[in-house]
Structure 1
């Protein structure tokens, strides 16, 4: 069993009236989640909150494999509910990104759809564990630009996958070891528009857990804060 400490913060930013991001921490179930809603007020915040609420209903006491399946199933159920709700409201797209991290027995599993991200800092080096489902991600994967360049691209907000969008939901998964001293970051794109890999690496390596989330949000706000900003930082002890 890994002992994990965490710090989570969310901020509406400078330009939006409503925070359409949702953040969920379930330390007793070793699950942490960020979801970024899309579809405007009364839709985006509904979608992201629904995902967080469904995941929060996962019962305690499941073994890691059962818990991972329950996490995937909760997100899939959210997809179906949001689809039905969009149809009932007779409106366009309602959806949300999701990035969920589970840490157990010396390992981590990340599930995601959209452009919310999971990073890991290990021995001072940062690594992006997820791959954005976005129009510009293909350029990065083809070696035509870096993720930092993609974040500044005019099409960077065009995501190609989200919970509640399309008939069936494809969730991507990443897994690996969670070692003592590892620091994980889960965040919405309201942070990564303003924080390059170098900035993230520097702040995550330097700041104590008590202040790191606040410092990252400050960076996004100082950069313009055009979107909601949500950050969870986790330390594996």
Structure 2
């Protein structure tokens, strides 16, 4: 039998050095850890990210959630963002994060992503980006037309191909990953990888013992390295004696949900 999953977490968020307002929103209340990065102009973007997060609020405070409950909450998030009326570009937001999900007596991370906010997992000292960006540059990388290290300098780096709202009809990708004691998840808006390399993120996550210290350090370092965008970081640690006897438990079970091609949205 799987034992209880004990969590510790920390959050950092800043508008950055060049933006007038912070259009990011987050939810860090078990079993949900989410980051949303708004688009559509200052107030519209901030309102859109808040509306997306509110779609999941009713699930906060529970021990775990089901895949079906997360899918239903996403529908509520879309409805909330779609209700925002602006005189400029349509309001929209990215959304990324993870929820604690229990199936068959086992505990999993249910990771979801739409847009280019990201979810990473540090496990056994190795950092892995779980989510896959829905962006124009990621499409180029996957087609072999652009090197990953050149993606952040590409002129279309701010173009997303799926979002909540902003004219998009796309749905998130989902991954169901077995949870293990010692897991550290990091969810962030794109303001973090714009400023810090993969290795810099790994160094900070390895060096800081507490999740709050890790989140605070990552936001601070993003500002030190330019702070060109809003930056939000949520770090979650899993403690407790989770079962690790099944070899399959050490491998992620990827289960992305198919989606249709969507309209591009420019930040």
State TM-score, norm by structure 2.
Answer: 0.81
1:151-176 residue CA offsets vs partner (Å, 9 max, x unmatched): 23221110111101336331111121
Distance 2:27 2:64 in 1: 20
Distance 1:112 1:53 in 2: 16
Query: Which stretches in structure 1 are left out of the alignment for 5+ residues?
Result: none
What is the aligned length?
A: 231
- In structure 2, the residue matched to 1:193 is 194
Counterpart of 1:228 (choices 196, 217, 230) is 230
- In structure 2, the residue matched to 1:157 is 158
Native 8 Å contact 2:136 2:159 kept in 1 = yes
Q: Compute the RMSD of aligned alpha carbons.
A: 1.8
1:198-217, aligned counterparts within 5 Å? 198-209=199-210, 210-217=212-219
1:9-62 residue CA offsets vs partner (Å, 9 max, x unmatched): 1111111111000011112xx111000000111100000011112211226557
**Are residue 101 (structure 1) and residue 98 (structure 2) matched?**
yes
- In structure 1, the residue matched to 2:256 is none
Q: Give secondary structure in 1 for the equivalent of 2:84.
A: helix
1:67-98 residue CA offsets vs partner (Å, 9 max, x unmatched): x3222222222223322323xx4442210000
Counterpart of 1:8 (choices 7, 11, 20) is 11
Native 8 Å contact 2:32 2:60 kept in 1 = no
- In structure 1, the residue matched to 2:38 is 37
Distance 1:32 1:17 in 2: 26
Distance 2:236 2:61 in 1: 20
Native 8 Å contact 1:72 1:111 kept in 2 = no
Distance 1:63 1:192 in 2: 29
Q: 1:24 to 1:190 in 2, by over 3 A?
A: same
- In structure 1, the residue matched to 2:175 is 174
1:91-121 residue CA offsets vs partner (Å, 9 max, x unmatched): 4221000002112443111111100000011
State TM-score, norm by structure 1.
Answer: 0.90
- In structure 2, the residue matched to 1:74 is 73
Structure with the bigger percentage of helix: 1
Query: Which stretches in structure 2 are left out of the alignment for 5+ residues?
Result: 240-267
Q: Give secondary structure in 2 for the equivalent of 1:42.
A: helix
- In structure 2, the residue matched to 1:85 is 84
Note the C-alpha offset of 1:149.
2.6
